[in-house]
Amino acid sequence: MEFKEKLAAFVARIDSAIDKITPAKNARPARIHEAMRYSLSAGGKRIRPALVLASSELFESGVDALPAAVAVECLHTYTLIHDDLPAMDDSKLRRGVDTCHIRFDEATAILAGDALQTLAFELLATRYARDPKLAVELISTLSNTAGSQKLIGGQMEDILGESRSLSESELEFIHLNKTSALIEASLRMGAAIGGANGNQRQLISEYGRCIGLGFQIMDDILDATSDSQTMGKTVGADTAANKTTYVSVHGLQESRNRLAALTERACEICDSLAASFLKQLAGYLNDRTH
């Protein structure tokens, strides 16, 4: 199967699973469930949940990775809802549509994000209850990633850095934790479900760091060079707010050089794992326009 067809197949499975295992939009109280489903179904590339599926399929344990993929997408969507809030990035557009707090209201958006975060861990606890060891590993991986020393920590450092110029190491800390950590965790969760050995897990983790950091560098490039219509979200906000980005620290060409080097290493790892889809995905992320 060609890469785009494979990715589309993953996305179709993820969307179907989201519809089946998340609360119905008319479940009481309907407003919160409508807001949760609104943000979950507002498009997006579904890269993180697709990574869970792709990583698990490399090792073929037979365990269903879809609940974990949905859990990752729930947690990712919560972070987007909260990032867009007036107290954070104050964004009005996400995935080409109104952000959750614009479509509903700020209080509903906060609660929708909270509920999606909680749902992520409920799915891991209940859907993998037959394998307690695996369930604990998945919950541990995702909770560690989403906590104050990684994802939330990266967001906090990003906020603290808005009023000043950041060093290269400070910027890398933010990107490795705010963006890359969840991408890496998605791959590690898939590898755990698939039954990968220790060496394979280390390689998968390194691949995740490469494409995760590359993903953020590409976001910074696109924020500096693209437009809101193409991106489906507000662009240019980093420049307007004088935020430190890879482009502002290293310049456009060096940012592209670093992205190319990360992609090359990711592809080398994929060759060692015979992971053709993940190799093509690395190239896709490098070449994306939105």
What is the model's pLDDT at position 161? 86
Tokens of 278: 């993940």
What is the model's pLDDT at position 284? 87
Q: Residue for token digits 């197949």? A: 9
Residues 6 or more apart whose CB falls under 8 angstroms from that of 266 comprise: 207, 210, 211, 214, 278, 279, 282
pLDDT at 243 over 90: no
Write down the pTM of the prediction: 0.91
What is the model's pLDDT at position 239? 58
Helices (H), the chain: 3-21, 30-40, 47-57, 66-83, 100-103, 106-127, 132-146, 151-160, 168-175, 181-194, 198-225, 228-231, 237-240, 246-250, 252-273, 276-287
**Span 257-284, mean pLDDT?**
95
Instruction: Kindly report the average pLDDT of the chain as a whole number.
Output: 92
What is the model's pLDDT at position 60? 80
Task: List the domain range (segments joined by +) for residue 186.
Answer: 3-287
Identify which has the larger pLDDT, 119 or 236: 119
Q: Residue for token digits 């697709």? A: 50
The CATH number that applies at residue 103 is 1.10.600.10
In tens, the pLDDT along 162-174 reads 878 888 899 999 9
Measuring CA to CA, which residue among 231, 216, 222 is closest to residue 262?
Answer: 216
What is the model's pLDDT at position 195? 96
What is the model's pLDDT at position 267? 96
What is the model's pLDDT at position 95? 78
Strand partners, 98: 93
Identify the band that residue 229 occupies on the pLDDT scale cut at 50, 70 and 90: low
Tokens of 44: 């997006």
pLDDT at 59 over 80: yes
Q: Considering its fold, how many domains does the chain have in total? A: 1
Identify the band that residue 290 occupies on the pLDDT scale cut at 50, 70 and 90: low
Torsion on CA atoms 211, 214, 219, 224, rounded to nearest 10 = -160
Return the amino acid letter for 56: S
In tens, the pLDDT along 86-139 reads 999 899 998 789 999 999 999 999 999 999 999 999 999 999 999 999 999 999
Measuring CA to CA, which residue among 174, 157, 188 is closest to residue 72?
Answer: 188
What is the model's pLDDT at position 241? 60
